[in-house]
């Protein structure tokens, strides 16, 4: 999966992951849990000399779509980034660059002098590039690969499935995904290595002019201009359109390509409209996880699909509770009515009328607990997640593609996606339940925690209690002990288990690995990403995708985060 951009009519990369709307399957539900990597863009054999950037008309020369962000090279060679600033992924260095690659939470770019600079997440050495001069670069989720001037490939970062061990020889281009990568030999043949997901590293014979590695599939352009894809057929990602193309970019659940007529075609999952390109003429395209960006022939950038951070635009007025997930937020008004804001691509803003006592937001849907104890859900009905069971409940919680309710008799019942057994709740008498990406956790009346679903990274191995509440995120969960301290378990890849000391009265875990706690005195503290938290006192806190919302003691909602709007010359459609 490569998130890179070359100053040529080849292709760039992108990244992604999630449980999505109009297309795909449970991959999304499994994406983050599988510690998804980002996606990449295609690579061309005609790689230009980085010291001689191609002449560009317009404001931009290249674009790379990352997981929750995107970066572009301006016509003057400087870099600008926008979206969610996890791990400083938007903090681009100064200087002039010729090529850029956007990974999951890190970016790398080649300077006009041929050296590499990287920024963002660095837990596995992803931002520590080797010395020397390079002409091509591709960033995955945990590692990056680059092509030296002599054609040798060098990789660094996390060495999953021997992804850092490229074949020997001289190559024309390189493209890397989550745990695999591919190179284009000078003769046009493709060679791949790393994790072989359903044949993703078993490239067909014959000559290609470009190759792009997605999460578990790869697409290449034949010398005749046609596209051939191989690997995991999930979500029709292998069903490339006919015709002739000059560039291709493979992502997690979709891919896009630029035709010789300069129009863009996409296939695979159309969640958020990411595979529904606008009309117009494009030079390159970069397919991200839930959005896609293309560089137009006039030098402007147009993106389509998910626009991150919409859930941070809170309306005025008083609320009694909040719930955030992904890029939409819902609040319970003091009169019991539900009001939602943010992304509304699949109807998740259309809360039903009436009085509710609780609201829970999923990734593309939401559920409310009515005053009579019944549950009603709305939004995107993937995996039949809107078909809440009948009966009376005390609370409701929503995850990525599934939801759970706590019945009045203490039993937990879950519905929706069961890709990892996340709807198979254990028996017992519970006092609390929380749904994460593909796992759920509950607190028994004894205070002991119990978790079920995806066992990835220890999510189903909670510490001893007693706990009084629990919050499940992507691949981690945080529990509030009876004494008010917070303890988290699961993946600590980003430091999401490093909860601060002291006492709290609430905790919120996001689907991206970020968490925040509400201290007993009403202030908010978050980890692992640093962010400017407003002062004052709150009664609730909820973490969304790249933003956090707090409920003030007098009722208003205040949101903040690491979001940065697209610069001038970048537009989003759909």
Identify the pLDDT of residue 430.
99
Please state the φ and ψ torsions of residue 379, each to the nearest 5 degrees: 115, -140
pLDDT at 42 over 50: no
Our CA dihedral for 31, 269, 161, 14, rounded to 10 degrees, sits at -100
Round to whole Å and give the CA distance between 563 and 574: 20
Check residues 11 and 431 and name the one with the higher pLDDT. Answer: 431
Q: For all residues of the chain together, what is the average pLDDT?
A: 89
Identify the pLDDT of residue 35.
27
- Residue in this structure with the two tokens 């529904």, named with its chain if needed: 276
Identify the pLDDT of residue 57.
53
pLDDT at 147 over 60: yes
29 SS3 class: helix
Identify the pLDDT of residue 574.
66
In total, the chain counts a number of residues equal to 574
Express each pLDDT in 224-246 by its tens digit.
999 999 999 988 999 999 999 99
Identify the pLDDT of residue 326.
80
| Mean predicted confidence (pLDDT) in 41-69 | 61
Express each pLDDT in 499-544 by its tens digit.
999 999 999 998 778 999 999 999 999 999 878 899 999 999 999 8
Identify the pLDDT of residue 545.
82
Cβ atoms of residues 430 and 410 within 8 Å: yes
The H or E element spanning position 31 is: helix 27-31
239: buried, middle or exposed (CB in 10 Å: 19+, 13-18, 0-12)?
Answer: exposed
Check residues 342 and 241 and name the one with the higher pLDDT. Answer: 241
Check residues 87 and 20 and name the one with the higher pLDDT. Answer: 87
Band the pLDDT of 312: cuts 50, 70, 90.
Answer: confident
**Sequence-separated (6 or more) residues with CB below 8 Å from residue 66:** 3, 14, 15, 38, 83, 89, 102, 103, 104, 105, 107, 288
Express each pLDDT in 372-422 by its tens digit.
999 999 999 989 999 999 999 999 999 999 999 999 999 999 999 999 999
- Identify the CA nearest to 212 among candidates 244, 170, 254: 254
Express each pLDDT in 479-502 by its tens digit.
999 999 999 999 998 899 999 999
- Residue in this structure with the two tokens 């070359």, named with its chain if needed: 6
| Mean predicted confidence (pLDDT) in 435-447 | 97
How is the chain split into domains, by residue range? 4-306, 310-562
- Residue in this structure with the two tokens 């990369």, named with its chain if needed: 13
Tokens representing 549 are 């919302």
324: buried, middle or exposed (CB in 10 Å: 19+, 13-18, 0-12)?
Answer: buried
Round to whole Å and give the CA distance between 480 and 478: 7
Round to whole Å and give the CA distance between 372 and 238: 48
Q: Do domains 4-306 and 310-562 have the same CATH topology?
A: yes
Tokens representing 139 are 């960033």
What letters, b where the CB count within 10 A reaches 16 and e where it falls short, cover 521-531? eebbbbbbbeb
Round to whole Å and give the CA distance between 142 and 315: 38
pLDDT at 194 over 70: yes
CATH fold of the domain at 4-306: Methylamine Dehydrogenase; Chain H (2.130.10)
pLDDT at 33 over 90: no
| Mean predicted confidence (pLDDT) in 557-573 | 90
pTM: 0.79
pLDDT at 308 over 70: yes
Identify the pLDDT of residue 504.
99
Round to whole Å and give the CA distance between 215 and 200: 9
| Mean predicted confidence (pLDDT) in 60-86 | 94
Round to whole Å and give the CA distance between 157 and 428: 44
Identify the pLDDT of residue 562.
77
| Mean predicted confidence (pLDDT) in 186-208 | 95
- Residue in this structure with the two tokens 């020397």, named with its chain if needed: 132
CATH fold of the domain at 310-562: Methylamine Dehydrogenase; Chain H (2.130.10)
Identify the pLDDT of residue 421.
97
């Amino acid at each position: 999966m490569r998130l890179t951009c070359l100053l040529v009519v080849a292709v760039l990369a992108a990244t992604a992951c999630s449980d999505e709307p109009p297309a795909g399957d449970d991959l999304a539900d499994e994406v983050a849990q599988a510690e998804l990597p980002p996606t990449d863009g295609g690579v061309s054999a005609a790689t230009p000399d980085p010291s001689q950037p191609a002449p560009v008309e317009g404001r931009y020369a290249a674009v790379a779509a990352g997981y929750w962000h995107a970066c572009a090279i301006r016509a003057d060679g400087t870099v600008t980034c926008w979206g969610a600033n996890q791990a400083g992924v938007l903090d681009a260095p100064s200087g002039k660059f010729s090529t850029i690659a956007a990974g999951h939470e890190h970016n790398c770019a080649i300077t006009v002098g041929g050296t590499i600079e990287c920024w963002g997440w660095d837990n596995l050495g992803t931002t520590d590039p080797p010395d020397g001069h390079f002409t091509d670069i591709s960033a995955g989720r945990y590692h990056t690969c680059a092509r030296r001037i002599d054609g040798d490939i060098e990789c660094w970062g996390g060495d999953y499935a021997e992804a850092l061990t490229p074949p020997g020889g001289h190559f024309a281009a390189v493209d890397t995904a989550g745990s695999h990568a591919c190179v284009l030999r000078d003769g046009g043949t493709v060679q791949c290595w790393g994790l072989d997901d359903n044949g993703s590293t078993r490239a067909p014979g014959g000559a290609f002019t470009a190759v792009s590695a997605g999460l578990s599939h790869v697409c290449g352009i034949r010398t005749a201009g046609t596209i051939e894809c191989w690997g995991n057929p999930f979500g029709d990602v292998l069903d490339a359109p006919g015709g002739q193309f000059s560039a291709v970019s493979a992502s997690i659940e979709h891919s896009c390509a630029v035709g010789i007529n300069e129009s863009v075609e996409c296939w695979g999952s159309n969640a958020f409209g990411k595979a529904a390109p606008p009309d117009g003429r494009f030079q390159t395209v970069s397919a991200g996880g839930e959005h896609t960006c293309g560089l137009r022939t006039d030098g402007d950038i147009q993106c389509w699909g998910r626009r991150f951070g919409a859930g941070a635009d809170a309306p005025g007025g008083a609320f009694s509770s909040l719930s955030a997930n992904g890029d939409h937020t819902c609040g319970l008004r003091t009169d019991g009515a539900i009001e939602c804001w943010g992304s509304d691509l699949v109807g998740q803003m259309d809360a039903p009328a009436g009085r509710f006592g609780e609201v829970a937001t999923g990734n593309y849907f939401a559920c409310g607990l009515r005053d009579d104890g019944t549950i009603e859900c709305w939004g995107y009905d993937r995996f039949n997640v809107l078909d809440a069971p009948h009966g009376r409940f005390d609370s409701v919680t929503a995850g990525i593609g599934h939801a759970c309710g706590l019945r009045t008799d203490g039993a937990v019942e879950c519905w929706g996606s069961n890709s990892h057994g996340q709807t198979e709740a254990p028996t017992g008498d519970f006092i609390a339940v929380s749904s994460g990406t593909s796992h759920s956790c509950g607190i028994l009346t004894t205070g002991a925690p119990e978790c079920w679903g995806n066992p990835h990274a220890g999510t189903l191995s909670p510490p001893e209690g007693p706990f009084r509440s629990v919050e499940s995120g992507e691949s981690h969960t945080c529990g509030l002990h009876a004494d008010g301290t917070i303890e988290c378990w699961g993946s600590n890849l980003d430091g999401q288990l490093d909860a601060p000391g002291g006492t709290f009265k609430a905790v919120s875990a996001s689907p991206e690995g970020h968490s925040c706690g509400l201290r007993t005195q009403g202030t908010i503290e978050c980890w692992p990403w640093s962010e400017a938290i407003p002062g004052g006192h709150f009664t609730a806190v909820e973490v969304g995708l790249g933003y956090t919302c707090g409920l003030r003691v007098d009722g208003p909602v205040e949101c903040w985060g690491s979001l940065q709007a697209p610069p001038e010359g970048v537009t989003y459609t759909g």
